[in-house]
């Protein structure tokens, strides 16, 4: 049984307790479901079943988890026939998130994102490229800091 937090909506969804959300994928203690307000045709959330706080709480011991979230997100996009060459992936950086349960946004294709969504998911997401690189900002892209 995953470690869950009472009243956390993502804990409930990830563990099958929410009838209105369709779990699209369930493997390796992670689930994938569609964003409630999708920015493109393929906008999913990859969510650990266990409750984890936001990306700010990640540390270097979580690198395998981050890599797993990213690789599952990529695999899932491929399975859905999404354009995997034009993907935006990232975590919210506090205080900008609506649900305080770690979730990776996976959005494809970026070119179909409207400007509001682009802005929202640029300034409010820590974009994952290579989690091992540490923190570095290049052209509005934030790499996640794992210290």
Could you tell me the two tokens for 107? 């959005």
Gap between the Cα atoms of 80 and 71, Å rounded: 14
Least gap, CB of 97 to Zn ion (angstroms): 6
Gap between the Cα atoms of 7 and 118, Å rounded: 30
Type and span of the H or E element at 74:
helix 63-79
The verdict on 101 binding Zn ion (CB under 5 A) reads yes
Selected catalytic residue, list 42, 51, 101, 103: 103
Least gap, CB of 103 to Zn ion (angstroms): 5
The verdict on 39 binding Zn ion (CB under 5 A) reads no
Q: Which is nearer to Zn ion, 8 or 24 (CB)?
A: 8
With CA atoms as reference, report the closest residue to 39 among 99, 102, 125, 133. Answer: 125
Give the binding range for Zn ion (CB under 5 A) out of 47-55, 61-69, 108-116, 130-138: 47-55
The verdict on 49 binding Zn ion (CB under 5 A) reads no
The verdict on 34 binding Zn ion (CB under 5 A) reads no
**How many residues belong to the site for Zn ion (CB under 5 A)?**
6
The verdict on 8 binding Zn ion (CB under 5 A) reads yes
Whether residue 101 lies in the annotated active site: no
- What secondary structure letter does DSSP report for 133? G
Q: Are 77 and 110 in contact (CB under 8 A)?
A: no
Q: Which is nearer to Zn ion, 81 or 95 (CB)?
A: 95
Candidates 49, 51, 68, 88; binder of Zn ion (CB under 5 A) is 51
Gap between the Cα atoms of 122 and 137, Å rounded: 12
Instruction: Kindly report the backbone phi and psi dihedral angles of residue 19, in degrees, each rounded to the nearest multiple of 5, phi listed first.
Output: -70, -20
Active site residues: 103
Site for Zn ion, rule CB under 5 A: 5, 8, 10-11, 51, 101
């Amino acid at each position: 049984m995953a470690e869950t937090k009472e009243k956390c909506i993502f804990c409930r969804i990830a563990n099958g307790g929410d009838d209105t959300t369709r779990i699209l994928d369930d493997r390796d203690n992670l689930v994938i479901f569609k964003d409630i307000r999708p920015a493109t045709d393929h906008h999913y959330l990859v969510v650990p079943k266990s409750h984890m706080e936001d990306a700010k709480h990640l540390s270097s011991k979580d690198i395998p988890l981050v890599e797993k979230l990213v690789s599952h997100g990529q695999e899932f996009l491929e399975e859905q026939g999404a354009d995997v060459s034009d993907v935006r992936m990232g975590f919210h950086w506090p205080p900008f998130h609506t649900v305080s349960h770690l979730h990776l946004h996976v959005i494809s294709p970026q070119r179909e994102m409207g400007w509001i969504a682009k802005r929202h998911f640029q300034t409010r997401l820590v974009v994952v490229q290579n989690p091992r690189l540490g923190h570095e900002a290049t052209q509005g892209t934030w790499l996640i800091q794992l210290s």
